[in-house]
Amino acid sequence: MSLDPPNIVLGVAGGIAAYKSCELLRRFTEGGATVTVVPTASALKFVGAATWAALSGRPVATDVFDDVHEVPHVRLGQRADLVVVAPATADLMARAAMGRADDLLTATLLTARCPVLFAPAMHTEMWLHPATRENVATLRRRGSVVLDPAWGRLTGADTGPGRLPEPEQIYAVAQRLLSRGNLPADLTGRRVLVSAGGTREPVDPVRFLGNRSTGLQGWALATTAAARGAEVVLVAANVELPDPAGAKVIRVETALELRAAVLEAASEADVIVMAAAVADFRPVNPAGAKLKKGDVDPDPIALTRNPDVLAELCARPHPGQVIVGFAAETGDATASVLEHGRAKLARKQCDLLVVNEVGPTKAFGTPDNQAVILGLDSSTTEVPSGPKENLADVIWDLALARLPER
């Protein structure tokens, strides 16, 4: 990848969410990118050109007849390393899908040969309309990444899918696209299911049995999959992170809740990645009231084993489905980390097993990770220490290679 600052075109269509793109622009510029803002005429009714120019430090491109000698409707797309349209309205995506070039933004989209990211925002009825669904499918089929909108409060009292994802999350997907350069969105048309975080098993209304998992690796998997064009379902156990852009997030707490959510979504998934740390045991009879410290000789807490969700998935896979497990291991007197991982792979029979050594300063809660990925086909892939997004990309590469062609 080039060491020069990335050249980004930020397209802004005419929706009330245009104001959020100011924050996205700020993130791009603070990250060192050179950003040219290309608003539609209707977008300028929500945020003026002076605002975009002040935040970007560059002139705002608004019309094909401005600076004609530079042929802006061609040069902007040709020079871009990434084009992001946020918000992308139903009208803008319809015109882009038809190949229209009736303003500077749509002309730029026609000439761009770099990754293109659409972040939709519109009312629920517009997002769910068959015409919009067909336009989104067309854009994705041509290689653009079109995120699913977030669910939440829209204009007025309306609530539902159609809200613009938060700028921080759009920025995260954009960074993944920039890191991949001109590699295709190779998970387009694929459905992936990711579990993340750590389950909590209640002891009483205050206390629980849990683990150190924060969900960062699962979030990296979801964000990276969305950047590569996948339809993402993320089952999140006790994760205190904002929803990744483009992912449907199902929040759970216990192992039994995680199991139910995963099994319900599993049948439609091409790839399942079980990155969550699922508690092996749960209390048989959680107390209905807080256990008091002053109690004399409290009874031991009786435990029962939780279902093995990964083993269940592997025992009844769907045709062509790829299942990836995680093994958070520590070496001991009986075996090394890798030996424990190989034993787990033999028991679970998943297609891939990501083995990583864990500890107070390893894997859990850190931005970096390293792992050895074992394949049921006896393959071994070592992933050196680096950002968790790097490990996520390797996992998706290996899973994709095992999927049947379409």
pLDDT in tens, 238-272: 999 999 999 999 999 999 999 999 999 999 999 99
Are domains 7-180 and 191-402 of this chain identical in fold? yes
pLDDT at position 67 over 70: no
What's the rounded Cα separation, in Å, for the pair 281 and 304? 5
25 burial class (0-12, 13-18, 19+ CB within 10 angstroms)?
buried
CATH architecture under which domain 191-402 falls: 3-Layer(aba) Sandwich (3.40)
**What percent of the chain is helix, strand and coil (3-state, nearest 5)?**
35, 25, 40
Give, in degrees to the nearest 5, the angle at Cα 138 between 137 and 139: 95
Out of 7, 135, 182, 211, which one is annotated catalytic? 211
What's the rounded Cα separation, in Å, for the pair 397 and 399? 6
Q: 211 an active-site residue?
A: yes
Looking up tokens 């319900």, which residue turns up? 264
Does the pTM surpass 0.85? The reply is yes
Percent of the chain clearing pLDDT 70 (strictly above):
94
Summarize pLDDT for 372-386 with one digit per residue, the tens: 999 999 999 999 999
pLDDT at position 296 over 70: no
Class of domain 7-180: alpha beta
87 close to 17: Cβ distance less than 8 angstroms: yes
Residue 309 has φ and ψ, to the nearest 5°, of -65, -45
Give the three-state DSSP class for 72.
helix
Summarize pLDDT for 327-361 with one digit per residue, the tens: 988 888 888 999 999 999 999 999 999 998 876 66
What's the rounded Cα separation, in Å, for the pair 156 and 85? 24
- Residues sharing a CB contact under 8 Å with residue 113, sequence separation 6 or more, in sequence order: 77, 78, 182
pLDDT at position 406 over 80: no
* Domain spans, the chain: 7-180, 191-402
CA distances from 169 to 20, 60, 215, 244 (A): 12, 24, 15, 6
Single-letter code of the amino acid located at 346 = A
Summarize pLDDT for 165-197 with one digit per residue, the tens: 999 999 999 999 999 988 889 999 999 999 999
Summarize pLDDT for 26-60 with one digit per residue, the tens: 999 999 999 999 999 999 999 999 999 999 999 99
Single-letter code of the amino acid located at 190 = R
Question: Could you write out the DSSP letters of every residue in 80-131?
Answer: -SEEEEEEE-HHHHHHHHHT--SSHHHHHHHH--S-EEEEE---HHHHHSHH
What pLDDT sits at residue 359? Answer: 66
